[in-house]
A = this chain, B = another copy of it.
Amino acid sequence: MRTAEQTADGEGAPWGEVEPEAARRLLVAAVEAFAERGYHATTTRDIAGRAGMSPAALYIHYKTKEELLHRISRIGHDKALEILTAAADGEGTAAERLSEAVRTFVLWHAAQHTTARVVQYELDSLAPEHRTEIVELRRRSDAAVRRILGDGVRDGEFDVPDVPGTTLAVLSLCIDVARWFNAAGRRTPDEVGALYAGLVLRMVSAREPREPREPVGPGDSPDPKAQGADGPQQ
């Protein structure tokens, strides 16, 4: 299967699927406002103003302000999960797949840091039922990375005593890029992706390649129940 390199990164038209055009303009305006000020500090008047409309126009396309956040969060988490599962299901060694997962995931968080900031840091502003829906997507992202690490340990490529804990650390490292990345800064999204892929590989690689293990040690086995939601609460 050919990898869609051009569209797998964070560029392109992220909100092209949102129709009609007025609804898309409002969504893009909401992403910018939420990223700049945070969900609770953003007013519906601000969102409508950025989209060049009156406050009332917002409610023709969205029932509430929270529905806007939910739509943004859903689309963003779908994209994140797609990036990680594509890398996990790809070809090559565990090291190659992990490197690709971190590189593309970080690339998206840097290039789309405005969107990613809303997606990753406004989970608590969602209504409870929407929050549980999103948390399930995050659980599957976690599982994709944990699978790569588990494969690498099994094949002797990686030396990782605590697979769930290291999975959490790798994802945490990538996600936090959205917080500090600055488009006007010295690094391009591609450079950060390459830097982080290298750092993570060194973090998990076995110093010298060994024989694959036959029995998977209980302390190392990927445990589906090991991680619950990785959000701030619960």
- Chain A residues within 8 Å of chain B by Cβ, number: 40
A219 CA to B40 CA, complexed, in Å: 42
A162 CA to B196 CA, complexed, in Å: 11
> In angstroms, how far is the closest chain B Cβ from the Cβ of A119?
13
Chain B positions within 8 Å of A162 at CB level: 195
Chain B positions within 8 Å of A165 at CB level: 187, 192, 195
Chain B positions within 8 Å of A182 at CB level: 228, 233-234
Please tell me which stretch of A25-33, A74-82, A87-95, A167-175 contacts chain B, meaning at least 4 of its Cβ atoms lie within 8 angstroms of it. A167-175
Closest B residue to A195 by CB, please name it: B165
Find out whether the CB atom of A185 lies under 8 angstroms from the CB atom of B40: no
Please tell me which stretch of A52-60, A149-157, A199-207 contacts chain B, meaning at least 4 of its Cβ atoms lie within 8 angstroms of it. A199-207
Find out whether the CB atom of A125 lies under 8 angstroms from the CB atom of B41: yes
> In angstroms, how far is the closest chain B Cβ from the Cβ of A34?
11
Which residues between 160 and 199 of chain A lie within 8 Å of chain B, taking CB atoms? 162, 165-166, 168-169, 172-173, 175-177, 179-180, 182, 185-187, 192, 195-196, 199
Closest B residue to A192 by CB, please name it: B165
Given contacts A182-B233, A207-B207, A230-B180, contact A199 B41 (CB under 8 A): no
Chain B positions within 8 Å of A13 at CB level: none
A222 at the interface (CB under 8 A from B): no
Find out whether the CB atom of A199 lies under 8 angstroms from the CB atom of B207: no
Find out whether the CB atom of A199 lies under 8 angstroms from the CB atom of B203: yes
A159 CA to B142 CA, complexed, in Å: 29
A136 at the interface (CB under 8 A from B): no
A124 at the interface (CB under 8 A from B): yes
Can you offer 23 A-B residue contacts whose CB atoms are under 8 A? A36-B233, A38-B124, A40-B40, A40-B41, A41-B125, A121-B121, A121-B179, A165-B187, A165-B192, A169-B173, A169-B195, A169-B196, A169-B199, A172-B176, A172-B177, A172-B180, A173-B176, A175-B176, A176-B179, A179-B232, A180-B232, A182-B228, A182-B233
4 closest residue pairs by CB, A with B: A40-B40, A40-B41, A176-B176, A172-B176
